Structure 1
Amino acid sequence: MGSNTPSETQNPDHDHETISIITMDENRLQSIQQKINTPPKILSKTAGRATCSIFKVPKSFTDVHGDLYQPKIISIGPFHHNRPQFQMMEEHKYQYLGQLIASTSVSLPQLLTAVAPLVGKVRECYSEEIDYDDQEFLEMLVVDGCFVIELFRKVARWEAMNESDDPIASMSWIFPALLRDLHRLENQIPFFVLQCLYDLTCGEFVDSKVSLATLSLEFFNFIIQRPTDIILQYKDVQPKHLLDLLRSSFITQELDPKDLSNQNKAPSGHVVPSVSKLRQAGIHLRPGKSESFLAIKFKRGVIEMPRITMDDFLSSLLANCVAYEQCHKGHSSYFTTYATFIDCLINTAKDVEYLCDKNIIENYFGTEAEIATFINNLGKEVAFDVHQCYLANLFDDVYAYHKNNWHVYLATLKYTYFNTPWSFISVVAACVLLVLTILQTLYTVVPYYKK
């Protein structure tokens, strides 16, 4: 009777909490304070400024399709500088520098002197702190910049380039790799550095008034292949770098800024269904006539999408432009919006096959399944505001049309009874049979009533 029950037993360890006090030694405190006082290097303060335009691609993007962001044969700028795999082209950079100097009246000291005042401004353009000292950094800017300019000039005189012993022209695998490497986000130097060097060395291009922007777009036109009048529209632009120039050249006047916000109503934030679901609702897709694949339109149940050629270059360009828009402060989101739109359209290889059949996608990329996988990955880890994009109203209009029951009924009728010639013939035969049956009944019944 006097024994304690288990609930009444007291554990002396629970009578009070044991507090252990950990004291930091002086060295540890100094280490913490030093880290507080040390500015970030991997993602420096410059990355949050509008002046910063060249970024290391976020790991969340590289985990999905990292090969699209990494240069393969040449390093431009500090992020991949001095890596062993680029040694072959590093040697050719100095050869091109010598050829550029030999073809102009400009000396190497003059080139270095012209770019030297820009070094501090250039450092502000990179998202990471540049560890190279000013002299090494200056040399890299001049060598890389002069290589790009001399390459563009040689390509503009392609026949003369082919007649020389230049392996970049004679070996067919090098030139396509350069086309891809020179537009990668991590592989850039600021355009104002290129412009400074071009103004000093442009030589014969002064007489023909070829701007650096035009010369650059003509270089990439070997693979994009757009009309000359389109290229000349951007002759006076001053982009951040070559990737930004390419990106800007697709943002045409057709992409009406008024589409960003409707004056009569605010976009409700809906996205579009997949191709298969759109077809079930009677929405058709057909190729548009614009030179820019971004210029998508919707009217009276038809989505017009300009043709896009899916290949290694375009897939890399799309991925790098999306990464650039995601990193650059206050940048417009045209490529991010386009990537989100086609990601909504395409769920399966069948959706890609339909777009290929409609001449909207020209496939040099691989199988339909590979294109579907790439496009679905393109939208991963991307921040996107459907209310503030150039297709906001199109998203809403397509969604509203798709949800209209009348359109769904008509489309269902069409696909059920008129999808093939045989089903159409069957429906016609059934209608004729029904009419004949009614007529036979009338001829049988009417004489009876007359009697």
Structure 2
Amino acid sequence: MAADWVIEINKEGKRSEDETSTRVECQWKKRSIYKLPACVTDLNKNAYRPQVVSFGPYHHGEEHLMPMEEHKKRALVNFLKRTKMPLQIIFDNLTKVVQDLKDSYDVLSDVWQSDTERFLRLMVLDGCFMLEVLYYYAKMNFKDLGYSDEKIDSFRYDPSDPIFCAKRMLHVMNYIRRDMLLLENQLPMQVLIELVAGICPEKENAQDFVNKLTCCWFTKSTGPDTGECLHVLDIFRKGVRRVPLSHTDGQREHATHVHDDSVHHDSHIIVSAMEIQEAGIRFKVCKNEGVPEISFKDGVLHLPLLCVDDTTESVFLNLIAFERLHVGAGNEVTSYFYFMNGIINSVEDVVLLQSHGVIHNALKSHKAVIELFKLLGKDIMFEPNKTICSVLQGINEYRNKPWVQYREKFAHAYHLSTQWNPWAYISIIFAILLFTLTLVQTAYTISPYYHPNK
């Protein structure tokens, strides 16, 4: 048995040097849409599963999603009529890159691998429906997107349409938006680019046009220049993080690599929002929303605005999963929630951040916000980016200043006194006494310098 195993391993070693191995490694690099392992989905299975519509093969055919398939067909017909794009040409163009499309999926069953025509039908049907949804929401912003009046007028659905009408938009579209940001529910960007190539405004790059449509749908603006993206979730992630592309993906840096050995431990210490305030540090909302806008300077901690609602958990769990699984994705979103999970430990922390406009809470209670951040911060490895490390180090160096420590002790004691704690008054007295003795000691120490004769 041992000899057989040795022979098998030796064969594997030889295979690793041939073209087959090279092709497999090339396929690994093309993967961008992942089937999530149980260790990830166990946090909250429903957060990763679509509720009303499937995009792509992973959830196609699930019973609760089947009602939307008829609407997809109607959207496809309207899309072809409006764009005047021959379906056969679309098929022919996608056939040229079909292997790349298949390789975009981490796990693809034999049914989809072997039946190329069925796979392409799925890409076209789901891709057209996704674009129709994006068009529908963005049609109020067509001037910004470079649309002509003729194309605006051509985008019309019946006022009683069960999906594309104003009344249904308030209900159904919110579920579709949520499903469109699930990692397992993505379409390769090549599909959307091919479909939109013949209809985007003149002198407009197809990728940029898809990016604008997506940002308009999710952020109510045309968004920043996100460059090349892998799928809609990737567009959203780059739009949320709002960092220059030169910071680029893949720059994962451990805290121990960012700082020298003498100070790197300071980048691991996170205290609560209340403790940060007690040290005299002020909170201020960033002008531009975005995860990586966290910064600390001159006693002011700048944080991005975060609107917390029923979709926040699902959206950010999928973003964190993408950063965890996709090599080169970066970790801005993960680092942000690591930081926020550290400073939110109590209802008082939530109230404080909400009073400064850092958090807009649309959930039932403040405790629900705490539970949300605990869930999002669960099982996250300490691997913050350079920005977060710099902020943590700056906060802790600021808090270690003697006068800041005295202030923090006094503020903490005062906070306790507001809760009618008798021991708090004693703490305040001792804090004042300690501060006074420190001043007296300092005065006696420097006095001989100014009065040497005495």
- TM-score scaled by structure 2? 0.74
Question: In structure 1, what is the Cα distance between the partners aligned to 2:245 and 2:271?
Answer: 22
Larger Rg: 1
For residue 243 of structure 1, the aligned residue among 229, 233, 239 is 233
C-alpha contact 1:93 1:144 (8 A) present in aligned 2: yes
Match of 2:294 in 1: 296
Is 1:233 the counterpart of 2:212? The answer is: no
Deviation at 1:309, TM superposition (A): 0.8
Q: How has the CA–CA distance of structure 1 residues 64 and 417 changed in structure 2, closer, same or farther, with 3 Å as cutoff? A: closer
Aligned-partner residue type, residue 88 of structure 1: P
2-side partners of 1:161 and 1:399: how far apart?
Answer: 57
> Which residue is 1:139 aligned to?
121
Is 1:156 the counterpart of 2:138? The answer is yes
Q: Quick one: distance in 2 between partners of 1:399 and 1:324?
A: 31
Residue 91 of structure 1, aligned match among 59, 67, 70: 70
**Residue 284 of structure 1, CA deviation:** 2.7
CA distance change for structure 1 residues 173 and 264 in 2, over 3 Å: closer, same or farther? closer
Does residue 389 of structure 2 align to residue 413 of structure 1? no
Which letter does structure 1 place at the counterpart of 2:135?
Answer: R
Determine whether 1:392 maps to 2:389: yes
* Corresponding position of 2:43: 64
Compare 376-385 and 211-220 and name the one that shifted more: 211-220
* CA 416–292 in structure 1, closer or farther in 2 if over 3 Å, else same: same
Q: Which residue identity does 1:67 align to in structure 2?
A: N
Q: Structure 2 stretches of 5 or more lacking a match? A: 13-23, 141-151, 419-423, 433-454
Specify whether residues 318 and 271 from structure 1 end up closer, same or farther in structure 2 by C-alpha distance, changes over 3 A only.
farther
Residue type of the alignment partner of 1:252: R
Partner of 2:161: 166
Answer whether contact 2:398 2:404 (CA < 8 A) is retained.
yes
* Unaligned runs of at least 5 residues, structure 1: 1-22, 38-44, 431-451
**Separation (CA, whole Å) in 1 of partners of 2:218 and 2:101:** 30
1:219 offset after TM fit, Å?
A: 4.9
1:252 aligns with 2:242: yes
1:264 to partner: Cα distance: 8.0
Q: Which residue of 1 aligns with 2:438?
A: none
* Letter aligned with residue 231 of structure 2: H
User: Residue 73 of structure 1 is aligned with which of 48, 52, 65?
Assistant: 52
Deviations 1:160-216 (A, max 9, x none): 65763321133232110011111111100111111011113x1xx424848554455
Structure 2 CA distance for aligned equivalents of residues 83 and 113 of structure 1:
29
Which one of 400, 404, 416 corresponds to residue 401 of structure 2? Answer: 404
Percent of aligned positions that are identical: 25
Answer 1 or 2: which has greater helix percent. 2
Amino acid at match of 1:315: E
CA distance in structure 2 between the partners assigned to 1:128 and 1:338 by the alignment: 29
Superposition RMSD in Å: 3.6
3-state SS of 2:296 partner: strand
Q: Which residue of 1 aligns with 2:359?
A: 361
Secondary structure at the counterpart of residue 362 of structure 1: strand
Q: TM-score, normalised by structure 1?
A: 0.75
**Matched residues in 2 for 1:285 and 1:298: separation?**
9
Letter matched to residue 236 of structure 2: L
Q: Confirm or deny: 8 A CA contact 2:196 2:210 kept in the other structure.
A: no
Counterpart CA distance in 2 for 1:254 and 1:302 is: 23
Distance 1:48 1:270 in 2: 37
Q: Is the 8 A contact 1:54 1:126 kept in 2?
A: yes
* 2:201 matched residue in structure 1: 206
